[in-house]
Amino acid sequence: MENIRVQGWVRTRRDSKGGFSFLEVNDGSCLKNLQAIIDANLPGYEELTHQLTAGSCVDLLGNLVESPAKGQSVELQVAELKVYGTADPEKYPLQKKRHSFEFLREIAHLRPRTNTMGAVMRVRNRLAWAIHKFFNERGFLYLHTPIITASDCEGAGEMFQVTTLDLDKVPKVDGKTDFSQDFFGDKTGLTVSGQLEGETYALALGEIYTFGPTFRAENSNTSRHLAEFWMVEPEMAFYDLDDDMDLAEEFIKYLVRDVLDNCADDMAFFNQRIDSTILDTLKNIVENSFERLHYADAIHLLQKSGKTFQYAVEWGCNLQAEHERYLAEEAFKKPVMVYNYPEAIKPFYMKLNEDKETVRAMDVLLPKLGEIIGGSQREDDFEILVDRMKIKGVDPEEYWWYLDLRRYGSAPHSGFGLGFERLVQFVTGMENIRDVIPFPRTPKHARF
- Residues near ligand ATP, by CB under 6 A: 216, 218, 225-226, 229, 231, 371-374, 417-419, 421-422
Residue 417 interface partner, choices ligand ATP, Mn ion, none, CB cut-off 5-8 Å depending on type: ligand ATP
Residue 343 interface partner, choices Mn ion, ligand ATP, none, CB cut-off 5-8 Å depending on type: none
Cα torsion through 158, 159, 165, 168, rounded to 10: 20
Alpha-carbon distances of 233 from 140, 225, 251, 354, 425, rounded to whole Å = 11, 18, 12, 26, 18
Which of 353/432 has CB closer to ligand ATP?
Answer: 432
Cα torsion through 426, 432, 436, 438, rounded to 10: 170
Residue 225 interface partner, choices ligand ATP, Mn ion, none, CB cut-off 5-8 Å depending on type: ligand ATP
**Residues ≥6 apart with Cβ < 8 Å to 336:** 290, 291, 292, 293, 298, 327, 328, 364, 365
Kindly list the residues in this chain that would bind Mn ion in the complex (CB under 5 A).
374
**Least distance to Mn ion, CB of residue 200, Å:** 22
**Least distance to ligand ATP, CB of residue 152, Å:** 14
Which of 239/349 has CB closer to ligand ATP?
Answer: 349
Among left, alpha and beta (phi > 0; psi -120 to 50; other), residue 96 is alpha
**Least distance to ligand ATP, CB of residue 154, Å:** 7
Which of 269/426 has CB closer to Mn ion?
Answer: 426
**Least distance to Mn ion, CB of residue 377, Å:** 15
Which of 303/320 has CB closer to Mn ion?
Answer: 320
Q: Kindly report the three-state secondary structure assignment for every residue of 169-202.
A: CCCEECCEECHHHCCCCCCEEECCCCHHHHHHHH
**CA pair distance 12, 200, nearest whole angstrom:** 55
Which of 78/226 has CB closer to ligand ATP?
Answer: 226
Q: Is there a contact between 377 and 240 (Cβ–Cβ < 8 Å)? A: yes
Which of 202/373 has CB closer to ligand ATP?
Answer: 373
Alpha-carbon distances of 3 from 40, 77, 122, 141, rounded to whole Å = 20, 9, 27, 44
**Least distance to ligand ATP, CB of residue 182, Å:** 26
Each residue of 354-374: b (16+ CB within 10 Å) or e? eeeebbbbbbbbbbebbbbbb
**CA pair distance 431, 100, nearest whole angstrom:** 12
Longest distance between any two alpha carbons in the chain, whole Å? 85
**Least distance to ligand ATP, CB of residue 231, Å:** 5
Q: Is there a contact between 353 and 381 (Cβ–Cβ < 8 Å)? A: no
Residue 373 interface partner, choices ligand ATP, Mn ion, none, CB cut-off 5-8 Å depending on type: ligand ATP
Which of 25/359 has CB closer to ligand ATP?
Answer: 359
**Least distance to Mn ion, CB of residue 309, Å:** 19
**Least distance to ligand ATP, CB of residue 66, Å:** 46
Q: Is there a contact between 374 and 361 (Cβ–Cβ < 8 Å)? A: yes
Residue 405 interface partner, choices ligand ATP, Mn ion, none, CB cut-off 5-8 Å depending on type: none
Which of 421/435 has CB closer to ligand ATP?
Answer: 421
